[in-house]
Amino acid sequence: MKSFFRTVLAVVVGILLVQLFSLFLIFSMIGVMGALESVEDIKAHTVLTVDLTKTITDKEVNDPLANLNFRSLKLPEQNTLYAALRAIEYAKSDDKIEGILIRADGLQMSISTAQEIRDAIADFRSSGKFVYAYGSGYGQFPYYVASVADSVFIHPMGEMMWFGLASQNFYLKDALAKWGIEPQIIRHGKYKSAVEPFMENEMSMANHEQTMTYLTSMWNYTTNAVATARQISVEELNMFAEGRVAFLPKQALEAELVDGIYYADQMDSMLLAKTGRKADEKLRTVSLHDYSQYVQQQQSLDLSAEKIALVYAMGEINDGDEDDSAIGGDAYAEIFSQLRKDSTIKAVVLRVNSPGGSAFASEVMWRELTRLREKKPLIVSMGTYAASGGYYISAPADYIVASPLTLTGSIGVFGMYMTYGKLLREKLSVYPRVVKTHSHSDIGSVMRPLDAFERELMQQSVENTYSIFLSRVAEGRKKTSEAVDSIGQGRVWSGLDAQRLGLVDELGGLDRAIAVAAERANIADNYRLAVYPKQELSFFNGMVNSFLTSKAQLAKQIFGISDPEQEFVENIERLLKKRGIRAEMPYMIEIR
């Protein structure tokens, strides 16, 4: 009888799981189809809202359901940077758009992306249309974007923060030793601090120096931009960061950081008047996401136009194939090879947003990019990161465009892996035993640390890889290896400093890089973009893949795991998996 009830229970549970999965697919399909609906026509007297809490990324993910909200069963808006920039530009001459409202309650995009959006809004202002900013409160990066507006407004219960930049890291030497985990690390470059947290409990002077340098560069750039926009001196803004930090609305108004204190309904009334609408009418707004889709519908594709390939290289560089969060060396090398052979592609823009990774994969891509550059213009656009391996694959370009707030450089190499023999012996009472024909037959084993001979072999490999890395950069930037070494050694630079050092040709965004590519291909007046990698994941496979890969997100929401906790754990897991020779920047650089 007990066996019978167990069988019945198993069947019932199975049916419930199938029904749950079916409901998930149904709701997912509804959500995706809803997202694909055409946008309604824009009416006159409309305000374009640029909500900084909406994510803007370089490219759409292949898997449309990867970020499905399990509570609401809603898909997040997928705003791409290029589409957003095109929409803001289109709004300049769109008679139906009266102006822009920046909603600045937070920032859900990278600093460099925010910089490009800010620049686009600044250009929009040249049309003579208004730009207002409104926030329930302002963090300093949302305020940096908002400061470009004609007027900045805040909610009566809000608060404005202005406190400078900071970068934090976690040092794990003692924690690893406590658990019997022994890092095996070889590096070249005194600033190559990606492995420093495994070797020390304190930040080195070299790492402190480089961090302070790029933080100061970024802070000075953003502060000067705010000072110019708000007509406040840089000295006063630095005094605010040192002595005030937080401003209540009236204090922000007195300091001339904002222009008014309004409730949301009062802000709507102001916008109604500004757009020529009556007080009892409803304010007409359109989100940047919806307007981007509308603009795409208005702009017909000219199939006779010449093509520029826009290749998105996002994430860590790995050996093998690519996915939404990584750059596969082999897969991207094949893309570059195809573009070289494709006579319909007149130029290539490589958008790099990567902290680096596998040195071997970087070299594989470097080779194909060099061959590509021999056939057609190759322009690099640097996003948030284009460091170490990310710079390695940028070096072959004819021309490099970077954001002032890009983190780049980090020209250095390290080799690393973890050994767990001590953990097994002393903590778990497990005793590995090995039989080998030669002294070093088990070299690279996770059961024991390297001996002096093996460490020297690994050092030779690291030095050889660094030498090759230097030569690649020297060739691409038309410098000597010695000159590159003097600004290399694993040191991270801001885009602003990288231009001064000759690692970058021009400060600007993705738009500028595409314009340079069009100019160099002599097609500036008529071109269209072909985006790579191609999205090849089928709709059904995308839904199934989402269901199978979203368990971590579902568990996080059920058990209340916070984003910072999740991010910390994921970073530690990623670091513990690293093996071999890496061209990678310092990990977990979080600037706030």
Please return the burial class of 578, using the count of CB atoms within 10 Å of its CB with bins 0-12, 13-18 and 19+.
buried
Cβ burial 422-439 (10 Å sphere, 16+ → b, else e): bbbeeeeeeeeeeeeeee
**Cβ atoms within 10 Å of 587's Cβ, excluding its own:** 19
Could you give the CA distance from residue 392 to residue 474 in angstroms, rounded to a whole number?
A: 11
Question: What 3-state DSSP class applies to 539?
Answer: helix
Please return the burial class of 372, using the count of CB atoms within 10 Å of its CB with bins 0-12, 13-18 and 19+.
buried
The distance from CA 572 to its chain's CA centroid, rounded to whole angstroms, is: 19
Catalytic residue (choose from 381, 388, 403, 410): 388
Cβ burial 270-303 (10 Å sphere, 16+ → b, else e): bbbebbebeeeeebbbbbbbbbbbbbeeeeeeee
CA atoms within 13 A on the CB side of 494: 20
Name every residue whose Cβ is closer than 8 Å to that of residue 42 and which is 6 or more positions away in sequence. Answer: 94, 96, 97, 286, 291, 294
User: Helix H segments across 478-538?
Assistant: 481-487, 495-500, 510-520
Could you give the CA distance from residue 498 to residue 88 in angstroms, rounded to a whole number?
A: 29
Decide: 182 and 176 in contact? Cβ < 8 Å: yes
- Read off the amino acid at residue 240: F
Contacts 24+ apart (CB under 8 A), 551-555: 553/67, 553/70, 554/70
Decide: 347 and 314 in contact? Cβ < 8 Å: no
Q: Which residue has the tokens 């916008």?
A: 271
Name every residue whose Cβ is closer than 8 Å to that of residue 31 and which is 6 or more positions away in sequence. Answer: 65, 68, 73, 74, 75
- Is 192 one of the annotated active-site residues of the chain? yes
Nearest CA among 135, 167, 169 for reference residue 151: 135
Decide: 260 and 153 in contact? Cβ < 8 Å: yes
Phi-psi region of 307 (alpha: psi -120 to 50; beta: other; left: phi over 0): beta
- Is 479 one of the annotated active-site residues of the chain? no
- Which residues form the catalytic set? 192, 388
